[in-house]
Each structure stands twice: as structure tokens, then as C-alpha cells.
Amino acid sequence: VLNTKKKIEYYFSIRDRDKITDSFIKEAGLEKKNIKFTDDIKGGVILKVKGEKVIYNNSIESRIERYREYLTLRIYERLKKI
């Protein structure tokens, strides 16, 4: 059995801290424990997937859209297991 569950950490810019509300986190389908803030980036978000860094410098709205796509994929993966 392959372990497909990846630990994804979301590093947001400290400047965006006030935008990353609990409702944003819930709507984006994220977990609070996987969200961190950094002053290394001016905007956007760094996704760390198993140590790989992917940098997105997008608006908050498009980030939510990205997370929705990710969440849809996750839900689909869960449904396949049932």
C-alpha cells in the first residue's frame, strides 16, 4: 500500500497575516497547523511538499481557487478508497 498522504505546509507572507483568517483557512480547505508565516517573501505563498518548494505570487482569491482544486482532488481520492 502506497502512502499518498503528503504533508503540505503553506508559508504565507507575514504581510498577508491579517488576510489569513479562520474563515479563509476553512474555505480553502486547509489545516491551521500546516500554515506558517515568513518574512522571506513579499507576497504570495510558498507550498512545501515533502521538502520541495513551489512559489506562487498570486492574489489571495486565486490561492483559494488553487486550494479548492487541491481539496477537490483530495475528496476524490478519499471517495476512491470507499
Local structure of residue 76 (DSSP, 8 states)? H
**Which pLDDT belongs to residue 11?**
77
pLDDT higher at 63 or 16 = 16
Span 64-76, pLDDT tens digits: 667 767 766 766 6
Q: pLDDT value at position 55?
A: 46
- For the sheet with 52-56, list strands across it: 35-38, 8-13, 45-49, 52-56
Q: What is the pTM of this model?
A: 0.47
Q: What is the pLDDT of residues 22-67, one digit of tens each?
A: 887 887 777 888 888 888 766 555 555 555 555 454 556 666 667 7
Q: Check if the beta carbon of residue 26 is closer than 8 Å to that of residue 67.
A: no
